[in-house]
Amino acid sequence: MIEVKNITKIYETGDIKLKALDDVSFNINEGEFVAIMGPSGSGKSTLMHILGALDIPTSGTYFLDGRDVSTLSDDELANIRRDKIGFVFQSFNLLPRTTVLRNVMLPLLYDGIETEKREKRARESLFATGLDEPHFGHLSNQLSGGQIQRVAIARALVNNPSIILADEPTGNLDSKTGEIVLETFQRLNEEHGRTIILITHEQYIAEHADRILFIRDGKLTENRNGHIKRIIKK
């Protein structure tokens, strides 16, 4: 699904050049759960922006579903973000005075999908994250942090993207609530076959994934996770 070949990203400010990524290469197959882990300033945010079609590399290639994303125009990148990638952010980015169901339906509005189909797909996405139906009519600011993040995950799912890209999704949550959100990602991966890329600086969070890509000073190393995944109650 994803093939990254010898990607380098250089930022220039006047005479100063900063190499944020240095000859990075890796593959991610469909249905994998991969964590990208590194400290602040390691290059993981730059890599996330490239994988999310928010930026392009200075050199090297990035193939998504066989298409070279690193050569696309701004409009083509926007289409990739709309059709192929579901984003989950640390800050949730929900509309506070809008119901849970309408928050999840919103991305479908721009595709001209009729109301009944939008609602059906939004409900399916919410059920996939494990959120109970009585919460669908609540305003998003009436929910707990973990519930809000699951709504954000449902919103990322509603366009049926190829990839869920989660940027520090537990950063604003306590450890217990964060565990619930991480188990939601595991469930989506194991039961629904979703491809998930998780960006984090925490080892214990990265260990929920099957593979961990470590990044430091713009260089990448890889480790296959040997832990046994937690049992998820069904």
| pTM summary value | 0.85
pLDDT tens-place string over residues 97-124: 899 999 999 888 777 788 899 999 999 9
Please, what are the domains in the chain?
31-54+86-224 (3.40.50.300)
Q: Let me know: does 65 contact 84? Beta carbons within 8 Å.
A: yes
Q: What is the arithmetic mean of pLDDT over 222-230?
A: 52
d(CA 95, CA 102): 9
pLDDT tens-place string over residues 32-60: 999 999 998 899 989 999 999 999 999 99
Q: Would you say residue 203 has pLDDT above 80? A: yes
Q: Would you say residue 231 has pLDDT above 50? A: no
pLDDT at position 110, please? 73
